[in-house]
Amino acid sequence: MEREKWVVGNWKMNGSLSHCYNFLDFFQNLQCKEPRFFSSVNIGLCLPYVFLPFVSSHISSRVLQIGVQDVSEHLSGAFTGEVSASMVAEFGAKLTLIGHSERRQYHSESNELIVKKVQKSLDYGLVPLVCVGETLEERESGNTESIIAEQVEFLFKLPLEALSKLVIAYEPVWAIGTGISASAEEAQKIHHFIRSFLKSHSVSLQSLSLLYGGSVSAKNALSFFSQSDIDGALVGGASLKAESFFDIVRLAAV
Ligand code: PGA
């Protein structure tokens, strides 16, 4: 199976209705003018839940695949404040971001919980984009690979067929929102490690798409995209402006 290219934006808790409107307008126009970019790269955008109905009803998933930044591990019931995979699927989501380091850090999400959220996403036909990555402390104590291995290994609890539908993003926590990205060589080394680790579980998993995230911008994106094990990017800050986000998409399509 061929590895697919992805560029996925994560707006975090940013944006507004008018921002959504302008963003969609920009992408809609570009799709008419430059359709080739849209056929060679999967472009995703993970938004705050409230924007989902508006955005998904105003743009085709051939232009942007809309996603959310989390889902509940439950299906329904007395879980105040939670939103389920079935709900977001009904309102047009195609992707879920699971296990982002800000969820792991500020909401104490464990690897066990993350696997449950991945399973719920898959149950409703959503593509889970699972984030893994080490903190600065873990990196400095030489534990990067063991931490990543532990995070990825938890996913092996899923049936192989489910696993083959995931996209994984390697995001070193120290590189997120800091303006200090990993070097392309460092990122390649870890992506290669993840791919080999997946392959050791099943050969079929070597074709999963692996994305790099952490201070990706139009300035450094090409250095990541030219690495043999990197299939795209998860983009935070630079996804907020349609122009800068599209500049990254353009580089992925090269
Ligand atoms: P950043 O965020 O691009 O702003 O570093 C990446 C992310 O949190 O996914």
Q: Transcribe 140-180 into DSSP letters.
A: HTT-HHHHHHHHHHHHTTS-HHHHTT-EEEE--GGGTTTS-
pLDDT digit string (tens) for 11-30?
999 999 999 999 999 999 99
Quickly count: other Cβ atoms within 10 Å of residue 43's Cβ.
25
Residues annotated as catalytic (active site), given as ranges: 100, 171
In the three-class reduction of DSSP (H, G, I as helix; E, B as strand; rest coil), residue 48 is classed as coil
Q: What is the pLDDT of residue 254?
A: 82
pTM of the model: 0.97
Residues of the chain with pLDDT under 70: none
Question: Distance, CA 78 to ligand 1 centroid (Å)?
Answer: 32
Residue from 100, 235, 248 to probe ligand 1 pocket by mutation (most atoms less than 8 Å from CB) = 235
Q: What is the pLDDT of residue 2?
A: 83
Q: What is the pLDDT of residue 52?
A: 98
Q: How far apart are CA 94 and CA 57, in angstroms?
A: 13
Task: Give the residues surrounding ligand 1 with Cβ less than 6 Å away.
Answer: 10, 171, 176-177, 213-216, 234-238
Question: Distance, CA 171 to ligand 1 centroid (Å)?
Answer: 8
Q: The tokens of 22 are what?
A: 């302008």
- The beta strands (E) that lie in the chain are given as 6-10, 42-47, 65-68, 95-98, 127-132, 167-170, 209-213, 232-235
Q: What is the pLDDT of residue 1?
A: 72
Burial 166-194 (b: 16+ CB within 10 A, else e): bbbbbbbbbbbeeeebbebeebbebbebb
Q: The tokens of 66 are what?
A: 């809309």
pLDDT digit string (tens) for 165-192?
999 999 999 999 999 999 999 999 999 9
Quickly count: other Cβ atoms within 10 Å of residue 81's Cβ.
5
Closest ligand 1 atom to 235 CA: 3
Question: Distance, CA 48 to ligand 1 centroid (Å)?
Answer: 15
